[in-house]
Amino acid sequence: MSAALVLRDVTKQFRNAEHAAVANVSLEVSVGEVITILGESGGGKSTLLRLIGGFELPDLGEILLNGETLNSPQMFCAPESRGISMVFQGHSLFPHMTVRDNIAYGLHRMKSSARDQEIERMLTLTELSGLQQRYPHELSGGQQQRVAIARSLAPKPSVMLLDEPFSSLDRTLATQIRNDLADLMRRSGATTLWVTHTTEDAMAISDRIAVMHQGRLVQLGTPESVFCRPQTRYVAELLGPANLLRVQQQDGQRFCPALAAMVETELPTPTHAVVRPDDIVCELRKDGPATVRRTAFQGTFMELTVDSASEQVRVHYRGPERFAVGDSVALSAPAQRVWVISDPG
C-alpha cells in the first residue's frame, strides 16, 4: 500500500506550555488505512489532528498528502484546499441549517443533480433518510453524530479526521455507532485518522494504533502488537489492565521474582515484565510462595490481588476454585504471554 498521509518530525509548541503539544511526530498512513491515535487527554492527540487539518501551524516538520506538501517551511495549504475532512468533538453541526443543508455544505463543487444524488446516498448510508428536513437540535445525539459523519464523508475526502466523535454519547450508543461507523468507513474506503481515549474503540476498529504520550508518538503498531508487546509502562497500562513485575539479573539470566520464573528477552537492560491479569495462572498450593490479599467477584471472572515476592499481582481467575483471603497460592504464566520492557521510569 502506498502512503496517503506522511508526517515528518511535526512539532508544535504552544506558548506558556510546559512541553511541546506535539513533539517530533513522524507517521505514514497508507491509503484506506484506519489509524487510531490513542492517549489520555492532553497528550497532543487533538493538536496532531488539527495540524493535519490545517487549523494549527506546526513549528517544525512537514506534512504531505498523496505526495503533495501541505505544510513545510516553505508552504502552507489552507484547510479548505487540503481535501481532508474533519469530524469535530461535539460535531459542530450548523444549527441554522437542516440535515440536508448540512450534508450539502461540502458539496459546493458538484452539479446540483450530482449533489442531490450524493446527499441521498449519504442519507441512506448513514440511515438518516426521512430526517433530512430536520434541524440539528431536533435530532438525537446518535443521529446528530451520523449527520456529522455524513457531512464529512460526502465530499469524498482523501483523509478523514475524527476527533473523539463519540465523547458526547453514552457508552452503549457509542459502541453501536462506532461499529456502524467503522463499517461505513471501510465501505467508503476513506483513509481515516481517529482520535480517541477509549482503548476499546481503538482496538475494535483500527488497522494500527498510534499511542501518544506528552506530545510524543510512543508506539505505533497493530492493535495486537501494541497490546501484547507494549514498549513502555505507559502503553502497557493504557491498553488494558497489566501487571508490571520487577525483573532481576540472576546468574547472567533474567528472573521475575513475582512469578518465580526466568524470562527471555534481548533487551540489554530490562526492568519489567508485562503480564496481563488474564494470562496469569493461579493455583492453590499449601506451601505456595504467594498469598491472596483480596478477592473480588467480577461476573465472568474473579479478580484476585496476590502478594508475591513483595509485589502485588492482579489475577483474573476464571477457574472453578474459590479462593479466600490468606490462601497460599503459586503464580505462573506461559512464557509467550510474558513481555519484557525496559522502562526505568
Partner 1 sequence: MNVAVAPAAGYPRWRQRLSPWSVGAAAMISVLLVPIAVVALSMLGRSSPTWQHICDTVLTTYLWNTALLVAGVGACTLVIGVSCAWLVTFYRFPGRAVLSWALVLPFAIPTYIAAYCYADLQDLVGVDMMNLPGAILVVSLVLYPYVYLITCSTLQGQSGRILESSQSLGRGAAYSFWRLGFPIARPAIVGGMTLVTMEVLNEYGAVHYYGVDTFTTGIFKVWYGMDDTQGAMRLAATLMMLVLALLLLERLQRGRKQFTTCGSDYRPCMPGQLRGSVSWLAAGWCTLPVLLGFLFPVGQLLIWLKQSGASSFGAGFAKIAGQSFVLASCAALTTVIVAVILAYTVRLHRSRLITALSKASALGYSMPGAVIAIGVMVTVVAADRGVLRHVAGFFGAKPGLILTSSIVVLLFAYVLRYLTVAVNPIEAGFERLCGSMDEASRALGHSPLKTLLQVNLPLAKSTLIAAALLVFVDVLKELPLTLILRPTNFETLATKTFELAGEEMIAQSAIGALLIVATGIVPILILDRLLCSKRPT
Q: Which of 2, 78, 318, 320 binds partner 1 (CB under 8 A)?
A: 78
Q: Are 177 and 205 in contact (CB under 8 A)?
A: no
Contact partners, residue 225, CB within 8 Å, separation at least 6 = none
Give yes or no for residue 88 binding partner 1 (CB under 8 A). yes
Q: Are 98 and 134 in contact (CB under 8 A)?
A: yes
Distance of closest approach, residue 284 Cβ to partner 1, in angstroms? 45
> How far apart (Å, rounded) are the C-alpha atoms in residues 82 and 77?
6
Q: Which of 59, 116, 180, 278 binds partner 1 (CB under 8 A)?
A: 59
Task: Choose the stretch contacting partner 1; rule: CB under 8 A; options: 25-33, 232-240, 287-295, 300-308.
Answer: 25-33
Give yes or no for residue 152 binding partner 1 (CB under 8 A). yes
> How far apart (Å, rounded) are the C-alpha atoms in residues 195 and 11?
18
β-bridge pairing 60-65 and 68-71: antiparallel
The residue written with cell numbers 506550555 in the block is 17
Residue whose CB is less far from partner 1, 49 or 338 = 49
**Strand order, beta sheet including 311-317:** 281-284, 328-332, 290-297, 302-308, 311-317
Residue whose CB is less far from partner 1, 145 or 243 = 145
Q: Which of 31, 32, 105, 255 binds partner 1 (CB under 8 A)?
A: 105
Give yes or no for residue 142 binding partner 1 (CB under 8 A). no
Q: Are 306 and 291 in contact (CB under 8 A)?
A: yes
Distance of closest approach, residue 219 Cβ to partner 1, in angstroms? 8
Give yes or no for residue 215 binding partner 1 (CB under 8 A). no
**Strand order, beta sheet including 261-263:** 248-250, 253-256, 261-263
Task: Choose the stretch contacting partner 1; rule: CB under 8 A; options: 47-55, 261-269, 283-291, 320-328.
Answer: 47-55
> How far apart (Å, rounded) are the C-alpha atoms in residues 240 and 337?
14
Residue whose CB is less far from partner 1, 156 or 197 = 156
Size of the site for partner 1 (CB under 8 A): 50
Please state, as a whole number, how many other Cβ atoms lie within 10 Å of the Cβ of residue 252. Answer: 5
Distance of closest approach, residue 311 Cβ to partner 1, in angstroms? 30
Which residues inside 177-196 make contact with partner 1, applying CB under 8 A? none
Look at residue 166 and give its three-state secondary structure. Answer: coil
Distance of closest approach, residue 144 Cβ to partner 1, in angstroms? 5
Position 179, amino acid:
N
Residue whose CB is less far from partner 1, 83 or 289 = 83
Q: Show the cell assigned to 321.
A: 476454585
Give yes or no for residue 93 binding partner 1 (CB under 8 A). yes
The residues of the shown chain that bind partner 1, judged by CB under 8 A, are 9, 11, 24-27, 53-55, 57-60, 73, 76, 78-86, 88-96, 105-106, 108-109, 136-137, 141, 144, 151-152, 155, 161, 168, 216-218, 220
